Amino acid sequence: MSAPVTLVTSPANSDRSDSPDHSRLGSKQHSDGGWGLVPVQVRSARFSSFEVDDFETVTGQELEWKHTPVAKLTPLTAGELDGSPLPIEAQEVDGARVEWIDRDDSRIGRAGKPEERASANAWSSFEKALSITVTGEEPVEVLVNRAGLGDAPRAAHTVIIAEHHSRGTVVLQNSGRALLSENVEIVLEEGAQLTVVTVQEWADDAIHLASHFSEVGRDARLKHVVVSLGGSVVRINPSTHLSSEGGDVELFGVYFADTGQHLEQQIFVNHDAPNTKSRVSYKGALQGVGAHTVWVGDVLIRPTAAGTDSYEQNRNLLLTDGTRADSVPNLEIETGDIAGAGHASASGRFDDEQLFYLQARGISEEDARRLVVRGFLSEIVQKIGSPALEARLQDAIEAELLVGEVGR
């Protein structure tokens, strides 16, 4: 039962290699203010453009592509994309508007600017954008169902705006086939409280690249949740600009990679105003040969961001041999006046002591494993705050576990 620990280290966090025992999840917690970390790149200086042709052809050597199987992505990074509106279903609810808007609408471009070629390709290609505006102070939930987008390469653009002091939850629910590159812009006006959840339950061969750009206004609070379970290559990159005082962001993610799946997320938190707060927590489970996950967490604290409070963590549970979890936290701190900045990253096997404890209570090894994994991931699911969605996702995770057991 005492399997060796497979640990994937990255050059960005040499501090992780000093302790060989990562089998106990949670054992590598530290909050050192990040002073010991050398950023692999200066995130603040990254190139951005709306024009796809401003970006070189993707080779896989680039920082933002080096973990990704780029060969599979050529149709999205180099090909022509169908930019017609996606076949979506969305319910109109009181307190929110859902509509298609033209490229020249002023709502577009408030939060985002592409930083890589697939994102720019989508930006150059979309014909109309889906606009979701949360208007009311009573909390509302908007569900956008995107089921079966087909095999042809497509582009999409979505703008989610939470008007000042509004409250709401927007769920992007994805399933079926897809070959999609998209941008999602999220704008929180003053005092807004918005939750955005994107759920990837794509079919096995789907490919999905997404950049989420959020702009968090004064005293506004964004909760952003990425749930990636299905798809061949799924890469969701949420970046947040805390541009006004008192902005608060929580970026959560949960993922479960099976045999051959590539699930990636590159997070960027840009603290650019005083007294802003960020919490990043991503957890993943990996199971089966070739299951590969990537988590990059860039946190930038600019000189303008005195009093920043920031913490990011990523934890991965490697359930079988042949899996690979890349986990790269980066802190770039440009002011000495911060309230806190910490990070934790750990990838390891099951904690044998947890399994022993459960088994010593009569629970079979198989059930004990299931309990531990479900518990591990449900910590994130519980944070969504939408009971029906939480229950459905718990079941979806349970189903992932059962799929793995058949192949064991």
**What is the binding site for other proteins (CB under 8 A)?**
1-2, 25-26, 351-354, 356-365, 367-368, 371-372, 374-379, 382
CA distance 399 to 407: 13
Between residues 4 and 11, which has the closer beta carbon with respect to other proteins? 4
Between residues 3 and 63, which has the closer beta carbon with respect to other proteins? 3
Between residues 148 and 375, which has the closer beta carbon with respect to other proteins? 375
CB of 375 to other proteins, least distance (A): 3
Question: Which are the contacts of 181, defined by CB distance < 8 A and separation ≥ 6?
Answer: 76, 77, 81, 118, 119, 121, 122, 153, 154, 155, 156, 209, 210
C-alpha pair distances (Å), 17 with each of 34, 65, 320, 328: 16, 24, 21, 13
Between residues 294 and 381, which has the closer beta carbon with respect to other proteins? 381
Between residues 100 and 357, which has the closer beta carbon with respect to other proteins? 357
**DSSP H helical segments within 71-174, as ranges?**
74-77, 117-125
Q: Cα-flanking dihedrals φ and ψ of residue 141, to 5°?
A: -125, 125
CA distance 93 to 312: 34
Between residues 171 and 368, which has the closer beta carbon with respect to other proteins? 368
CB of 373 to other proteins, least distance (A): 9
CB of 371 to other proteins, least distance (A): 5
Q: Decide if 215 contacts 241 (C-beta within 8 A).
A: yes
Burial of 50-74, coded b for 16+ CB within 10 Å and e otherwise, reads: eebeebeebeeeeebbebbebeebe
Q: Which amino acid is at 229?
A: L
Between residues 285 and 328, which has the closer beta carbon with respect to other proteins? 285
CA distance 100 to 85: 8
CB of 244 to other proteins, least distance (A): 34
Q: Decide if 36 contacts 379 (C-beta within 8 A).
A: no
CA distance 306 to 49: 29
